[in-house]
């Protein structure tokens, strides 16, 4: 492989694993090089300013942890979001080109099919089916200054 260099990588398109999504649902495709600040600015604008009811975050390979981070930030900022998580594998196609082709011979390319882990997370303001695999209900809201509904008295 030392004589080959990666020319291109592409992923096979696959439909989102959530049935009955509205056609205008926002899908945030998180990539390895995506900046969390940029992703969150756009996603928060969609949910708060444009009034979207649902948003899907998806990422594969090294972007899986960044995808989860974005979802957790959004859940903490907005609160009351229902979540369904689906984990699957995606196939990436990598094309490698030979750096040292045989003299007078055709250029040799190598195509590699890689199966990488992928995650899709649906966040919804509306209730989702709790019997669905991967469902998480909204976290109960407790403020930092309250304990069981009473004011925090730690500084008295």
Domain CATH code at residue 73: 3.30.110.20
Q: Decide if 56 is inside a domain.
A: yes
What pLDDT does residue 143 have?
56
Q: What is the pLDDT of residues 53-106, one digit of tens each?
A: 999 999 999 999 999 999 999 999 999 999 999 999 999 999 999 888 777 777
Q: Decide if 147 is inside a domain.
A: no
Q: Decide if 59 is inside a domain.
A: yes
What pLDDT does residue 105 have?
73
Vertex 34, ends 40 and 118: CA angle to 5°? Answer: 95
What is the pLDDT confidence band of residue 156, given thresholds at 50, 70 and 90?
Answer: very low
Q: Decide if 71 is inside a domain.
A: yes
Burial 105-130 (b: 16+ CB within 10 A, else e): eeeeeeeeeeeeebbbbbbbeeebee
Q: Decide if 77 is inside a domain.
A: yes
Domain count for the chain: 1
Whether 128 has a pLDDT exceeding 90, the answer reads yes
Q: Decide if 75 is inside a domain.
A: yes
- Domain residue limits at 53: 4-14+24-99+107-136
Q: Decide if 142 is inside a domain.
A: no
* pTM given for the model: 0.81
Q: Decide if 86 is inside a domain.
A: yes
DSSP string, 19-67: TT--TT-EEEEE-TT--HHHHHHHHHIIIIIS--SEEEEEEEGGGHHHH
């Amino acid at each position: 492989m030392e004589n080959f260099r990666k020319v291109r990588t592409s992923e096979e398109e696959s439909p989102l694993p959530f049935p009955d999504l509205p056609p205008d649902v926002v899908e945030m495709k998180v990539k390895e090089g995506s900046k969390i600040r940029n992703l969150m600015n756009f996603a928060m604008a969609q949910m708060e300013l444009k009034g979207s009811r649902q948003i899907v975050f998806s990422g594969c390979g090294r972007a899986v942890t960044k995808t989860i981070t974005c979802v957790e930030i959004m859940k903490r900022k907005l609160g009351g979001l229902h979540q369904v998580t689906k984990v699957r594998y995606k196939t990436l196609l990598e094309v490698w080109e030979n750096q040292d082709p045989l003299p007078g011979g055709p250029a040799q390319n190598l195509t590699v099919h890689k199966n990488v882990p992928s995650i899709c997370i649906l966040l919804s303001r509306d209730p989702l089916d709790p019997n669905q695999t991967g469902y998480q209900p909204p976290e109960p809201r407790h403020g930092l200054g309250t304990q069981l509904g009473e004011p925090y008295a730690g500084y008295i």
